[in-house]
Structure 1
Amino acid sequence: MSPIPSKAQLMELLAHSVTTHYADFTASAADTGLTTSQAKTLSVLRSAPASMRSLAHTLACDASNMTGIIDRLEKRDLVRREVSITDRRVKNVALTEAGEKVIDTIRERMEQTQTGLDNLSDDERAELFRLLTVVFPR
């Protein structure tokens, strides 16, 4: 039986995996002509539209910076601004169909991440997913 890894060893492995994933994501985003911040914004919006304030909070950036990111994504028709149905003063940002395709392309081109996940069996992928949701609940 293998020795049980320490928290420090697990944290080191998690840090390595995040660093590798981030580098893979950054390179793939650049291939589509996007900055990492722009691509991360599309990734966040993949799950649901969000307010500008919520995006700035999630991406840990200043609201004025978020406006510039959204302006550039909107110019490329990757996102659109919509008036919130619950508060007309709030603008939500939603992915367009083109934005969905771009973020899907970025994820598909993440070679190191894709290769690593391809090395897992279906059962191993299911177990990794389960464990990650325990460690990082949504």
Structure 2
Amino acid sequence: MAPSSTPPPSPTPDPLTLEVVDLIGTVVVRYHEEYDEAAARHSLTGAQARVLALLAREPLPMRRIAERLKCEPSNVTGIVDRLAARDLVERRPAPDDRRVKLAAVTPAGRETAERLREGLDFAREPLSHLSPQERTTLRDLLRRMLGDEQ
């Protein structure tokens, strides 16, 4: 009989794992709610705010933005167009390949991204109840979960 290509069923998660997954889900939902509210205070959608935050770190080609946001490049084009219309983002040629266009924040975009980030109280408030050592442990565990141990 030929071996089955179907992977064996994963074991049922234990109650602690299920609770942790539920708590992570709750954190994600609250984060997105507050992020969208903070974005709205700057007359941005949540998606526009996320693109602005990404570009505040570094200029990126549209394809890379789409990969990071897990969406279609055509969606990113519309978001960047709306941000550019407000002078928060500009398109510029990539220094190493002038055929590639990068989206980059303008000074007004950088300022808006900073104000948006400062306006996110969700993480700041609960994290303020943790000691620096607890926050470090939490950061390290999250990095480990994401496979990004630095």
Show the counterpart of 1:60: 70
> Gaps spanning 5+ residues in structure 1: where?
none
1:88 CA drift (Å): 1.7
Distance in 1 (alpha carbons) for counterparts of 2:38 and 2:85: 20
What 5-or-longer segments of structure 2 have no aligned partner?
1-13
Corresponding residue number in structure 1 for 2:23: 13
Stretch of structure 1 that moved more, 49-58 or 93-102: 93-102
Rounded Cα–Cα distance in structure 1 between residues aligned with 2:102 and 2:141: 32
Aligned residue pairs, count: 135
Aligned to 2:9: none
Identity across the alignment (%): 36
2:108 alignment partner in structure 1: 98
2:123 aligned residue (84, 108, 113): 113
Q: TM-score when scaled to structure 1? A: 0.88
Mapping of residues 1-138 of structure 1, within 5 Å:
6-138=16-148
Question: 2:34, 2:57 → 1: CA distance?
Answer: 21
TM-score, normalising length from structure 2? Answer: 0.81
Q: Deviations over 1:31-60 (max 9, x none)?
A: 110001100101222322110111112212
Secondary structure of 2:97's counterpart equals: coil
* Aligned alpha-carbon RMSD (Å): 1.7
Shift of 1:22: 0.8
Higher RCO (Cα < 8 Å, 6 or more apart): 1
